[in-house]
Amino acid sequence: MLAERTEKMIKSIVEYKGRKPFVYKQFRPGMMVNSYWDGGHRDYWYIINTFSGACKVIPQNGTPYDKLNLRCDTLATNEVLVCKTSSRGKELALVVYS
């Protein structure tokens, strides 16, 4: 679990306006971080340094046109992988992998 201040920082960085609380999951090396629209659903992926607030946005990928299937193999110290899930214009969840 992260401190409340850190949760607020993450919500601000990823522009999460949903009401659902954070979901915490364990990071697994080699996780697929595909981000593209599929039937009204999309996952947005970010790597955020919880100490400095630095953010790396993972670009749209994984469609046949992008020819990318990105994986996240490692996280540095103080980094978390964040997935913001949207469906039909509503933000459904914010999952933090650490």
Give the model's pLDDT for residue 13: 96
Mean per-residue pLDDT, 40-59: 94
**pLDDT at residue 2 greater than cutoff 80:** yes
Q: Is the pLDDT of residue 64 over 80?
A: no
Average pLDDT over residues 86-91: 88
Neighbour-count burial for 49-87, b at 16+ CB within 10 Å, e otherwise? ebeeeeeeebeebbeeeeeeeeebeebeeebbbbbbbbe
Q: What are the two backbone dihedrals, phi and then psi, of residue 77, each rounded to the nearest 5 degrees? A: -55, 140
Percent share of the chain, pLDDT over 70: 100
- In sequence order, which residues have a C-beta less than 8 Å from that of residue 68 and are 6 or more positions away? 61, 62
